[in-house]
Amino acid sequence: MTPSPLLSLILIPLVTALFCMAGAAPRRISIFGAGANLLLSLYLLASYNQAIGGFQFVSENPLFAAYGISFSLGVDGLSLVLLLLCTLVTFAAVWVTPKIEKQEGMFYACLLFISVGAVGAFASIDLFFFYAFHELALIPTFLLIGIWGSGERQRIAWKVTIYLAFGSFILLLGLIGLWLAAPDNLRSLDIRMLQQLGYAGLLSPGPAVYLLLLFGFGILIALFPFHTWAPEAYASAPAPAAMLHAGVLKKFGLYGLLRLAVPIFPAEIQQFAHLLLVLLLGNILYVGFVTIAQKRLNLMLGYSSVMHMGYAFLGLAALNQLGLGGMALMMFAHGLTIAALFALCGEIARRTGTLEFSELGGMAGITPKLGLLFGFAAMASVGLPGFSSFAGEILIFFGAFARGATGCFNWFQTATALALWGVVISAVYMLRAYRRVFWGGRGTAVKDEIADISAGSRWAIILLLAALLVTGFRPGLLLEYLNPVFAYLPQ
């Protein structure tokens, strides 16, 4: 096999998971393995030659040459940013994991297997392994909810599995249609080849294949109205599992649309733009109002995550450098933000035994460090200037508002104006949640003996928030990797 640092990025969590299953000090070895992977992703980011651009660190290893299947790895700027997101969240997730009472080694192994699947999907340039790695990550997600989850965990685990399996099946049909649409002499599973055929106009799968990809990826992303699996899944899952799925694995669908739909289906994206605008406004406005109505913190965060996916789809609909660059930046920012919020939600649940707003309140006086960290994460979720979520959202709004005919208020500008109300909605539910949990009168579940957040968990969350602030004050640190990926599109 051709040596590649990307292979190490997959093998490190895989081998670490196997050691965890063997019972070899799972917590320590998980933190060590996740930390090593984070450092490796930073090394790859620093080593990437921006002057050359394109896919680098490429390794190609044919497995089934007759069918064109090759275990091929490679990354460009978009892949590198998402690999950094994955390794950051994985490191934080294993660090904040509390004492696991049953099958501790298997719990950590499942977390690491999700990371293996996400890293493999983002690093694969072969369509078969791009799909297969994502499917690998869904298995431990089901186990984490079904075995270690809370509430009606088994019912929710099956619901999640049915929804995601249905979405994956639709996606598979779309990927097969995409492969079959290529000319016989140029048929390939290499994503780079498919993109080149799309640029050259030699690959025209048609509207049906685009819709299969849109709704296949859309179900995995929780596009309205196929979103109902996500809030329950995140609310029921253990906090580290919710961090990884909502923060990282959900980005697979958005990444797939950027990687396949944008270069191959630009005409179809424009043809069905009105449909996409209506659906994404469902995510932002309808789900936003549902989020306000929630009475439990974990469900509110779950619906909040679904709502923010509407902004990402608005960036896709814009189909220009501003919108897509903002979409990619927001994917990174949202992943860190929702991971930090679910980690803090888990800390609150372990201290109070509840996440009902009616039973919480006044925690800031007892756990000031926990309250301060939650305040920072809440501001990042709202899109406060200084956080990278603000930079991503404003680029999306500018990109979408610039689309369409000039001199009149068109569909895109109307949708952007309506989507801006999502900023107000998110401020309402997030600030109200912050007040209900940490301020006001003491809730019945808040006792004097509650301990503040531990140093280990505190530093894990500070790492996520620091990344949000650094890339918020200097979004160019990431945009210099992301913008060249979309340089072929109009500004």
The whole-number pLDDT of residue 214 equals 93
At 54, the amino acid letter reads G
Q: How many CB atoms lie within 10 A of CB 102?
A: 8
In DSSP terms, 190 is beta-bridged to 126
**Residue 103 falls in which region: left (phi positive, over 0), alpha (psi -120 to 50) or beta:** left
The whole-number pLDDT of residue 461 equals 94
The whole-number pLDDT of residue 407 equals 59
Task: State the chain's mean pLDDT as an integer.
Answer: 89
| This prediction's pTM | 0.93
The whole-number pLDDT of residue 406 equals 62
pLDDT band at 480 (very low <50, low <70, confident <90, very high): very high
> What pLDDT digit, counting tens, does each position of 292-348 carry?
999 999 999 999 999 999 999 999 999 889 999 999 999 999 999 999 999 999 999
Q: Measuring CA to CA, which residue among 484, 490, 392 is closest to residue 76?
A: 484
pLDDT at 362 over 90: no
pLDDT at 7 over 70: yes
Angle, alpha carbons 329-332-337 (nearest 5°): 120
pLDDT at 448 over 90: no
Angle, alpha carbons 79-21-154 (nearest 5°): 80
pLDDT at 159 over 80: yes
> What pLDDT digit, counting tens, does each position of 76-100 carry?
999 999 999 999 999 999 999 988 8
3-state secondary structure of 369: helix
The whole-number pLDDT of residue 396 equals 93
Q: At a CB cut-off of 8 Å and minimum separation 6, what does 147 contact?
A: 102, 103, 106, 153
Mean local confidence (pLDDT), 387-408: 85
Is residue 216 a contact partner of residue 172, using CB atoms and an 8 Å limit? yes
pLDDT at 444 over 90: no
At 472, the amino acid letter reads G
The domain limits of the chain are 272-491
Sign, Cα dihedral of 237, 301, 306, 137: negative
The whole-number pLDDT of residue 297 equals 93
Q: How far is CA 95 from CA 29, 336, 458, 459, in A?
A: 11, 15, 10, 9
**Residue 404 falls in which region: left (phi positive, over 0), alpha (psi -120 to 50) or beta:** left
Token couple for 436: 């209900």
